[in-house]
Structure 1
Amino acid sequence: MNKQLKWGTLALLATSVLISGCGNKTDNADGSNTGTNGSPSDVAMPYKGKEISVLLEGHSTSNAIQKMLPEFEKKTGIKVNLEIVPYSDLTSKALINFSSSSGRYDIVMDDIVHGYGYQNAGYVEPLDSFASNAAISSDYDQADFVPEYLNAMKIDDKMYGLPVYGESTFLMYRKDLFEEYGIEVPKTFDELMAAAKTVKEKSNGEIAGITLRGEQGIQNVYVWAAFLWGFGGQWLNEQGQTDLETPEAAKALDFYQEILNKYGPTGVANFGWQENRLLFQQGKAAMTIDATVNGAYNEDPKESSIVGKVGYAPVPTQSSNPKGGASSLAVHGMYLSKVSDNKEAAWLFMSWATSKEQQIKSMSIDPNSGVSSLAAMKDDAFVTKFGAFKDTMLEAIANGNTQYLPQIPQSNEVINNTGVAISKALLSNKTAADVLKEANKLNNKLLSAK
């Protein structure tokens, strides 16, 4: 059966966001139940004593969950072993766990791009039966999720994950430097190159003109994809083959190589999300293109030295008629392992961690603008904390390209092959056309074997 992700359109998201116990037991403030003697009721905690293991990616969402975890354990009596790893290590750890059927992790958090592959391989459990079970779904509110985020978790009308956070991409730039050097906000890649050149030269090399992700794999691919689409390229052609051996793809990688090697920071070929974010926050680069969640860090006095100095704008494009948008639509979710021995307890954790109450609370704990809860987006804390970039972020999400990364079961391998090509272009004398030709050949060999 041909599986298609049930992606919706986000055209109305910005508008929708801006408008818009029993017996003798008692509920405590922390959500737990007590009997008449004041001790926790085992009846109200049917999974007390269960132990689950959860693999999360290094992210503000995960940091907030970790800090709120004692509340969940007290409320349910379930012991949760959390492991938080960098995003670049996440999928390999998950795949080792799933492919070996070790059951080491009951829950894995990952990008929907990889989640599609997990489902295709039969590694993860559909969640519909848990969601419809009122006895274990007091925290689950389907209507509260951003509809497009929740739909992204569905394959063949079955729900395979709960969206933990969503994001898009946008251009972040130093307003003070642009004003000082008389730079207009770039709308095309040519203008982006010129702006990066101006800053690097006029600051005598003390400030990088731009910083982007260069680390091999999903890290560099996630940002480079903006240039692929912005130059009029695409991942897949009408025949379902990867389409990287094209003039448009070569132009995108030539540009990426040139702007980083000429005007980027030292060591940028090893920059992942965190390194890229930190360099920009420290005021050492004039521009970056990255995830919308980065805005929360830019405007957090505890994290950033450039609070109030950052402007936000759509990702530039070069093609007057690009095949897709240059900004992403990325959704990360929690997935339940097929071989978990504690599926109900794991579901309780998943639904608690993604509930509107916890997501609203998370915004006051860590810089977390990527909430997947409509109630959280409408909360005063969201508007107050993220007002500097809120409108541009919602615009980016509304225009986010649902095919920004390849939505196929083999996406992990395709992304890895392409990431190798990007790294070769940054670190060697090989041309963009040659390395992409090599990656395209590997990708299509993989797809022909499906």
Structure 2
Amino acid sequence: MKKRMVLSVLSISALIALTACGNNSVDSGGESGGQVKLTLMSTATVKADMDTFKEIVADFEKENPNIDIEDTYPGDGYEDLARVKMAADDMPDLFDTHGWAKSRYGEYTEDLGDMEWAANLDPAMKPILTDDEGKLHAFPINQALDGLSYNKTLLDEYGIEAPSTFDEFMEALEAVKEKSNGKVVPFWLGGSDKSQFGQYFDQFSTPLLITDKEDSYKKELLDGSFDWSNYTYLPEKLKEMNDKGLLNKDVLTAQLTQGPELMAQNKIAFTMLNGSIGREVTKLNPELKVGTMPVPAIHPGDSPSWIGGERLTLAVSKKSEHLEEAKQFIEYIAQPEVAKKFAEGTSLPSALTNVEADNYFAEFYKQYEGTQIQPYFDRMYLPSGMWDPMGSTGQELIAGTMEPEQVSKKMAQEYTRLRGK
């Protein structure tokens, strides 16, 4: 059985070494005994998502014994590894575009517009994945509706309603701490992976800086004139949560994979793990129900919003030595029964209109039907590369090596530097 690599934080030397698994290498891009080897790199980090991916890859290999797929999941090191591979012009045969299909990866992707599944692409996804020339850059495995996941069983027991504003969210965290006598973590983050802090800042930047008409900085963010002191509210609130014991004590060392198990043990109230968290928790504890909710509003009079767009995708490298086989895998996962399996396994809506999936969070999506869906903040308003400082400044803030104002100053410096590239 081939080895599937699950990677975390990668050193530069490790990144360079890993470029050998690109599609031009003898081990992964060539053929041996008539068998084609494809490399696949995904941003999936949640265990249930990776398990679903691996199962579907294995099923494909059984049906196509002449094709061997080496699937890797670099986790927090995905962007760094992708940059190394782009610089070497040696992208994997199949890779995740994670929100940057057109702007970051466009020159490396094969046009998939002539494939049969393209006719069933959800209209909401077309502008995200298709450029002005009509090139379709990637296949969307699912669609994201991100917000907060929560232990509904526990909150019902405590008489706590799902919050619709940030103030209510803070009150709910305080109530969980009080009612559980400190035995339940009000807001759990797997902060050993800096993307958890990035997710906090990215999702809450939308209600802070975009959706409220009186406090919208769309123009300033896009033209480079944004005053980053307006961002300081978010690190201040994160620091307040930590100071008040509303975050897990091991927030800087906690692993993402611990989240579902801890919630299944009724040790977590709220988390920023989305998608398959519900199905995974209920599998561990059938008596527990996980809920999902939009991102709470911050300014008075504003409304909650989902943060959406592409979640998991796969693009085909236009320089793959095995374009036909790589597109064959895309055709396979675009089949309604396989796309349904992906949607249900990741607990997110399919991006294909001919797929009906039994989604774990369906009742909550219906409950919040009509809620505005906003694009990811960093993808829409920030230059490429800002995700890393978003996450690392959060880690430094909690570690005590940065104050909230310094977080905003660092973000301003990186914003200016990256816009200049």
TM-score bracket for this pair, using the shorter chain length = 0.7 to 0.9
Return the letter of the residue paired with 1:295: G
In structure 2, the partner of 1:401 is: 374
Tell me, yes or no, if structure 1 residue 189 matches structure 2 residue 162. Answer: no
Return the letter of the residue paired with 1:127: L
What's the TM-score once normalised by structure 1's chain length? 0.74
User: Structure 2: how far apart are the matches of 1:159 and 1:242?
Assistant: 33
Contact 1:174 1:309 in 2 (8 A): yes
User: Structure 1: how far apart are the matches of 2:329 and 2:296?
Assistant: 40
User: Structure 2: how far apart are the matches of 1:113 and 1:271?
Assistant: 28
User: Structure 2: how far apart are the matches of 1:243 and 1:434?
Assistant: 16
Paired residue for 2:237, among 245, 252, 255?
Answer: 255
Q: Give 1:193 shift.
A: 1.1
Pair 242,424 (structure 1): closer, same or farther in 2 beyond 3 Å: farther
Q: Give 1:416 shift.
A: 1.0
Tell me, yes or no, if structure 1 residue 112 matches structure 2 residue 104. Answer: no
Contact 2:188 2:247 in 1 (8 A): yes
User: Structure 2: how far apart are the matches of 1:245 and 1:158?
Assistant: 35
In structure 2, the partner of 1:391 is: 366
TM-superposition CA deviations, 1:365-406 (whole Å, max 9, x none): x45434323333x24xx15x55454425x748x622124323
Paired residue for 2:387, among 400, 415, 420?
Answer: 415
In structure 1, the partner of 2:129 is: 153
What's the TM-score once normalised by structure 2's chain length? 0.78
Q: Give 1:161 shift.
A: 0.8
Q: 1:214-225 to 2 correspondence within 5 Å?
A: 214-215=191-192, 217-225=194-202
In structure 2, the partner of 1:14 is: none
User: Structure 2: how far apart are the matches of 1:178 and 1:409?
Assistant: 35
Tell me, yes or no, if structure 1 residue 447 matches structure 2 residue 388. Answer: no
**More divergent stretch after superposition (328-337 vs 233-242):** 233-242
Contact 1:325 1:400 in 2 (8 A): no
Paired residue for 2:111, among 103, 106, 126?
Answer: 126
Q: 1:301-320 to 2 correspondence within 5 Å?
A: 301=283, 304-305=284-285, 307-320=287-300
Contact 2:347 2:361 in 1 (8 A): no
In structure 2, the partner of 1:425 is: 397
Q: 1:34-433 to 2 correspondence within 5 Å?
A: 49-58=35-44, 59=46, 60-76=48-64, 78-102=66-90, 105-113=92-100, 116-119=103-106, 122-128=107-113, 131=114, 137=115, 140-156=116-132, 157-215=134-192, 217-232=194-209, 237=220, 239-241=222-224, 243=226, 245-247=228-230, 249-261=231-243, 262-271=245-254, 273-298=256-281, 300-301=282-283, 304-305=284-285, 307-320=287-300, 326-331=305-310, 332-362=312-342, 366-376=345-355, 378-379=356-357, 382=358, 385-392=360-367, 395=369, 399-407=372-380, 410-411=383-384, 413-428=385-400, 430-433=402-405
User: Structure 1: how far apart are the matches of 2:88 and 2:342?
Assistant: 34
User: Structure 1: how far apart are the matches of 2:128 and 2:110?
Assistant: 16
Q: Give 1:433 shift.
A: 1.7
Contact 1:108 1:334 in 2 (8 A): yes
Q: Give 1:316 shift.
A: 1.3
> Counterpart of 2:327 in 1: which secondary structure?
helix
User: Structure 2: how far apart are the matches of 1:438 and 1:446?
Assistant: 12
Pair 368,168 (structure 1): closer, same or farther in 2 beyond 3 Å: closer
Pair 329,215 (structure 1): closer, same or farther in 2 beyond 3 Å: farther
**More divergent stretch after superposition (429-438 vs 107-116):** 107-116
TM-superposition CA deviations, 1:419-439 (whole Å, max 9, x none): 222222111153212221122
Return the letter of the residue paired with 1:56: S
User: Structure 2: how far apart are the matches of 1:194 and 1:421?
Assistant: 25
Pair 237,403 (structure 1): closer, same or farther in 2 beyond 3 Å: farther
User: Structure 2: how far apart are the matches of 1:288 and 1:354?
Assistant: 31
User: Structure 2: how far apart are the matches of 1:197 and 1:117?
Assistant: 41
Q: Give 1:62 shift.
A: 4.5
Return the letter of the residue paired with 2:388: N
User: Structure 2: how far apart are the matches of 1:73 and 1:292?
Assistant: 26
User: Structure 2: how far apart are the matches of 1:196 and 1:426?
Assistant: 18
Percent identity (aligned): 19
In structure 2, the partner of 1:33 is: none
> Counterpart of 1:173 in 2: which secondary structure?
strand
User: Structure 1: how far apart are the matches of 2:144 and 2:365?
Assistant: 12
TM-superposition CA deviations, 1:58-85 (whole Å, max 9, x none): 3545533422335434544541322231
Contact 1:166 1:329 in 2 (8 A): yes
TM-superposition CA deviations, 1:205-251 (whole Å, max 9, x none): 1111122353464332123222222233667725532746133x111
